[in-house]
Amino acid sequence: MIRFDRLTIKAQEALAEAQKLAEKAGHQELDVEHLALALVRQREGLTQSLLNKLGADPA
């Protein structure tokens, strides 16, 4: 079991956003696609930095 209090604030925010995305889509489970989209949408964080270094445009 994941202890959410041991995750970084950004990780907690990403998981919360992923849950919202899953619920909005009518999905009963949070899946990797929800988490990936939540991570890409974070303005500040490791994902944006990595995508920029790879030359990817997440927009």
* Owner of token pair 């956003």: 17
pLDDT of residue 27: 97
* CA-based nearest residue to 21, from 49, 43, 40, 46: 40
- Look up the pTM and report it: 0.81
Tell me the domain boundaries of the chain.
Answer: 4-54
How confident is the model at residue 34, as a pLDDT?
Answer: 98
Closest of 50, 47, 38, 49 to residue 13, by C-alpha: 38
pLDDT digits (tens, 9 = 90+) for 17-58: 999 999 999 999 999 999 999 999 998 888 988 988 999 876
Nearest to 45 by CA among 17, 20, 1, 8: 8
Residue with tokens 């944006």: 48
